[in-house]
Amino acid sequence: MGNANAFATDPGIPATDVVPTTAVLDGDRLNLHAFSYRGTAAMINQRVINETAAILAYVRGAKAAE
């Protein structure tokens, strides 16, 4: 039983490519930016990752239909 609204990645995108690589907790501070830098550390949150994967799946599907 899952959430019908949960993000499901395209099978052609490896699961390791859709997980955040930046910790939300940076010491005693929260880094909640969607896409930004704090000093030299990049922050890309899960929503940006999911939406980028969805666009990639759409583009791949559009190219396959040509």
Domain boundaries, the chain: 19-65
pLDDT score of 33: 77
State pLDDT tens for residues 50-66.
Answer: 999 989 888 888 766 66
Looking at residue 66, what is its pLDDT? Answer: 60
One-letter identity of residue 53 = A
DSSP 55: H
Q: Does position 17 have pLDDT exceeding 70, yes or no? A: yes
Residue 51 is inside which H or E element, if any?
helix 46-65
d(C-alpha 53, C-alpha 47), whole Å:
10
Cα–Cα distance between 33 and 29 in angstroms, integer?
12
Q: pTM for this one?
A: 0.70
